[in-house]
Amino acid sequence: MADFSLNVNGRTVQVAAEPDAPLLWVLREQLQLTGTKFGCGIAACGACTVNVDGIAVRSCSIPVGAAGHRAITTVEGLSSDRTHPLQQAWIAEQVPQCGYCQSGMLMSANALLQAIPAPTDADIDAAMTNLCRCGTYTRVRKAIHLAARLMAGARQ
- Distance from CA of residue 43 to its chain's centroid? 13
What are the backbone dihedrals phi and psi of residue 153, each rounded to the nearest 5 degrees, phi first? Answer: -60, -40
CB of 84 to other proteins, least distance (A): 9
**How far apart are the C-alpha atoms of 136 and 152, rounded to whole Å?**
24
**How far apart are the C-alpha atoms of 150 and 48, rounded to whole Å?**
26
Beta carbon nearer to other proteins, 81 or 156: 81
Beta carbon nearer to other proteins, 42 or 156: 42
CB of 141 to other proteins, least distance (A): 6
Give the footprint of other proteins on this chain (CB under 8 A). 1, 18, 21-22, 25-26, 28-30, 33-42, 44-45, 47, 74-76, 78-79, 82, 86-87, 90-91, 94-103, 106, 124-126, 128-141
Beta carbon nearer to other proteins, 133 or 149: 133
Q: How far is CA 81 from CA 26, 59, 121, in A?
A: 24, 24, 29
